[in-house]
Structure 1
Amino acid sequence: MTSNLTNHAQARLQQRGISSHVLDCLLQYGRKVHDHRGGEIIYFDHQARKRLRRQSGPDQFKAIESKLDSYAVIGPDGAVLTVGHRTKRINRH
C-alpha cells in the first residue's frame, strides 16, 4: 500500500524514523480530515487506535505504540506527500 509515495515522503519516512508498517497501519486505520488545500491529513485518533489494537493484537500494537503520533498528508491524486510526528492537535474544521 505504500507504493504510492513521493520522493519527499520517502525521505521523510527515513529521516523521522517512521517504518513502512506504521504508514500502512496509518493508511488503513487512521482518521482522515480535509486540509482545505485539496488533500487529506490522516492520523491516529482515539477510535483509530482502538481499531488498530483490536485488529492487530496486543503484541503488535505494543511494538508500534510509540509511533502512533504519526500523520501523513495525502494529495488529491492519492499519493503520500509527506509524513511526520504530531506535536499539536489537528484542526478538524
Structure 2
Amino acid sequence: MAKTHHAQARAQQRGLPPFIEELLDRYGEEKHLGGGTVVRFLSKRGRRHMEHDMGRQPVAKLSQWLDAYEVSSTDGAVITVGHRTRRLRCKT
C-alpha cells in the first residue's frame, strides 16, 4: 500500500512501527468517512482474531500500539496515521 510523505512523517513522529500498519491492513476494521476517505482501526473483533492467530501474550505485548488508526483514500494511498484518543464517530 502506498503511503504519502505526510503519512510517513506522522508514523515516525507518533512512533508507529511498520508492522502495526501491516496488522491494521490484516486485522483492521474499515469505516467510510465520506469524501473518498476510509479509516482503518483495530476493533475488539480484530484483536480477537489476532489473539487466535498469534496468541494472547504477543498481542498483550503489542497493546501500546493497538490504538492505532490509518486514514486512506479510496484508491488505497495512506494519507495519515495516528493513535486514537477518543471513540471514532463515523458517518453511516
| TM-score under structure 2 length normalisation | 0.91
3-state SS of paired residue (1:35) = strand
Task: Give the Cα separation in 2 of the matches to 1:53 and 1:6.
Answer: 30
Structure 1 residue 51, shift from structure 2 partner: 0.7
Q: Which amino acid aligns with 1:73?
A: V
Work out which of the residue numbers 3, 6, 12 in structure 2 matches 1:5: 3
C-alpha RMSD of matched pairs (Å): 1.2
1:31 aligned residue: 29
Given the alignment, which residue of 51, 54, 61 partners 2:52? 54
Deviation at 1:58, TM superposition (A): 2.8
Query: CA–CA distance in 1 between the matches of 2:55 and 2:77?
Result: 29
Greater strand percent: which structure? 2
1:7 and 1:53 mapped to 2: Cα distance?
Answer: 32
- Give ranges in structure 1 of 5+ residues lacking alignment: none
User: Greater CA deviation, 50-59 or 6-15?
Assistant: 50-59
Aligned-partner Cα distance in 1 for 2:87–2:10: 20
Structure 2 CA distance, aligned partners of 1:88 and 1:48?
18
Matches within 5 A, 1:12-91: 12-91=10-89
Shift of residue 61, structure 1, vs aligned partner: 1.4
Deviation string 1:30-72 (CA, Å, 9 cap, x unpaired) is 0000011111000011101111111122343123111111000
CA distance in 1, matches of 2:54, 2:10: 25
Q: Secondary structure at the match of 1:52?
A: helix
Counting aligned pairs with the same residue, the percent is: 35
